[in-house]
Amino acid sequence: MWWDDITFEEAQPPPARPVRIGTISLHPRNNPDNNLGAFLHALDEIARDKPDIVCLARRYSSKGVQDLCRCAEEIPGPSTSRLGEKARKYGCTSWPAHRALGRAIYNTAC
């Protein structure tokens, strides 16, 4: 990407608005499918408070799993699709994911 002729103009700030943030801290172990299910259930619970953003543990799908390759997936993938459905249902967003891109694995925010 190359940027030419960059200019800055003063703009009015957007109006202030409250943002509700929720966090989920769970410690399921050893099974990415069960881990995801536990976090999806917790998301159903925390959604009652109508958060805009829900922060999940960085390794929600891989907690207790030694092989991160086992948990990494393309985006969209099985876990990101299921979490995306919940995010749309509750109008909130944000979670980490281990993204598989070819042979590389990245820690990505969705």
**Cβ within 8 Å of residue 57, ≥6 positions away:** 24, 25, 26, 39, 63, 96
Higher pLDDT, 73 or 40: 40
pLDDT of residue 63: 55
Question: Which 8-state DSSP code applies to residue 5?
Answer: S
- Please, which pLDDT band fits residue 66 given cuts at 50, 70 and 90? low
Contacts (Cβ under 8 Å, ≥6 apart) of 61: 32, 35, 36, 71, 79, 97, 98
Q: Specify the pLDDT at position 31.
A: 65
The domain spans of the chain are 21-109
30-36-38 Cα angle (round to 5): 90
**Residue 109 confidence class, pLDDT cut points 50, 70, 90:** low
Give 9-55 pLDDT, tens digit per residue: 999 999 999 999 998 887 766 666 677 888 889 889 999 999 998 88
